[in-house]
């Protein structure tokens, strides 16, 4: 499913908040959606619904985008969203469209598709966020659910659609200024708290000790492999930009030489009493080379930074377990 096809609808009247409140049932629905339809490398996506309470956005419900194939050419995602929200409104459930969610594997979510989709949402509703759920990291023992939205600088760049090196330099935007993470607070209902107490009582001691396993899984290896692939992509982007810079410099040199020859020719014609050469449009003769789009480079840099953070978190957890095990062994 293509993320940039998702529509956004709803009133653009929210005020900005520093954090979001997410009900635990929303988290459970997202996890359940991935377990049912997103096994393997399949990415699942859905709509976030909620409301504004005391200048704070609360995400109280969600529903998934159905999986459909190329044979479902008549399927209209926007119409599906509108019908779902209309049905929820009829049963008195929060139906305001406040964003969307997406699963990711090993933190691989920084892409042009996500950027275009989030811009569409955020342009219609300023408070819109995207929740990123990582099932691989969650399986390691800690829930990985983060909320992101585009920074005001990136919103202006996307509105103007000026992704040239000069435009990005003028806006003073780098990969660290593209997405801003918004803190989220997960709130449990009383029934969820009771369920968690029951699950904790039923859990065995061996299951709890699995969190202290010192053996490294393939998570670190896969993250490093993805990191190297992105570094290769960045190298290719650098080669493209260097080629553009050389061609531009070569053209500027040719243009300067042409103007010098023209000036010398006019000086000689003037000494002979002849008329100067007719004026020519230099811009048509020396069309500047097309600069490569730099937004893809920024996205790659952002994804590299994300992989580095994932590797840092994973290794820090393993080192913490190692030091704790060493201390326990020395104590015994």
- Top mean pLDDT of 17-26, 106-115, 164-173, 280-289 is at 106-115
pLDDT digits (tens, 9 = 90+) for 29-52: 999 899 888 776 778 889 898 887
Q: Which two tokens stand for residue 89?
A: 């409104």
Convert the pLDDT of each residue in 102-139 to its tens digit. Answer: 998 888 888 888 898 899 888 888 888 899 998 888 87
> pLDDT tens-digit profile of 189-212?
888 888 888 887 776 655 555 556
Lowest mean pLDDT among 117-126, 143-152, 157-166: 157-166
Position 208 scores a pLDDT of 54
Look-up of token digits 């670190």? 220
Is the pLDDT confidence value at 71 over 80?
no
**Band of pLDDT at residue 3, cut at 50, 70 and 90:** very low
Give mean pLDDT, residues 160-186. Answer: 82
Per-residue confidence band for 70, with pLDDT thresholds at 50, 70 and 90: low
Q: What is the mean pLDDT of residues 142-170?
A: 84
User: What are the backbone dihedrals phi and psi of residue 281, each rounded to the nearest 5 degrees, phi first?
Assistant: -85, 105
pTM metric for this prediction: 0.73
- Read out DSSP for 97-108? EEEEEEE-STT-
Q: Which DSSP letter does residue 41 get?
A: T
| Integer Cα distance of 19 and 17 in angstroms | 6
Among residues 251, 10, 283, 30, the alpha carbon closest in space to that of 132 is found at 30
The rounded distance, in Å, linking the Cα atoms of 197 and 141 is 18
Residue 4, pLDDT > 50, answer: no
Residue 213, pLDDT above cutoff 70: no
Determine the 3-state secondary structure of 142 from DSSP: coil
Query: What is the pLDDT, as a whole number, of residue 307?
Result: 87
Confidence (pLDDT) at 2: 39
Percent of the chain, pLDDT > 90? 5
Convert the pLDDT of each residue in 261-312 to its tens digit: 888 888 888 888 777 777 777 777 778 888 887 888 888 988 898 888 888 8
Vertex 276: Cα angle to 272 and 281 (nearest 5): 155
pLDDT mean over 54-68: 80
For the chain, what is the mean pLDDT? 79
């Amino acid at each position: 499913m293509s993320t940039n096809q998702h529509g956004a609808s709803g009133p653009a009247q929210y005020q900005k908040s520093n954090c979001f409140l997410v009900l635990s049932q929303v988290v459970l629905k997202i996890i359940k959606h991935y377990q049912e339809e997103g096994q393997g490398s399949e990415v699942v996506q859905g709509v976030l619904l909620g409301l504004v309470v005391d200048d704070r956005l609360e995400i109280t419900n969600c529903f998934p985008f159905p999986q459909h194939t190329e044979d479902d050419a008549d399927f209209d995602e926007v119409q599906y969203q509108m019908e779902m929200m209309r049905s929820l409104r009829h049963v008195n459930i929060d139906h305001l469209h406040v964003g969307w969610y997406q699963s990711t594997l090993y933190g691989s979510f920084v892409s042009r598709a996500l950027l275009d989709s989030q811009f569409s949402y955020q342009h219609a509703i300023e408070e819109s966020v995207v929740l990123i759920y990582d099932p691989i990291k969650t399986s390691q023992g800690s829930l990985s659910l983060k909320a992101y939205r585009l920074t005001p600088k990136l919103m202006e760049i996307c509105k103007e659609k000026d992704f040239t090196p000069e435009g990005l330099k003028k806006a003073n935007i780098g990969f660290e200024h593209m997405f801003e993470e918004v803190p989220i607070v997960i709130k449990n209902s009383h029934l969820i708290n009771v369920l968690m107490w029951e699950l904790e009582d039923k859990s065995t001691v061996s299951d709890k000790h699995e969190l202290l396993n010192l053996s490294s899984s393939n998570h670190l290896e896969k993250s490093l492999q993805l990191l190297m692939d992105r570094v290769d992509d960045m190298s290719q982007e650098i080669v493209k930009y260097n080629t553009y810079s050389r061609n531009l410099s070569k053209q500027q040199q040719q243009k300067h030489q042409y103007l010098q020859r023209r000036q010398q020719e006019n000086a000689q014609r003037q000494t002979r009493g002849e008329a100067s050469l007719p004026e020519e449009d230099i811009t048509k003769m020396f069309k500047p080379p097309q600069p490569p789009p730099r937004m893809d480079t920024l996205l790659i840099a952002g994804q590299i930074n994300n992989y580095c953070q994932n590797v840092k978190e994973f290794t820090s957890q393993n080192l913490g377990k190692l030091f704790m095990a060493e201390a326990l062994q020395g104590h015994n």
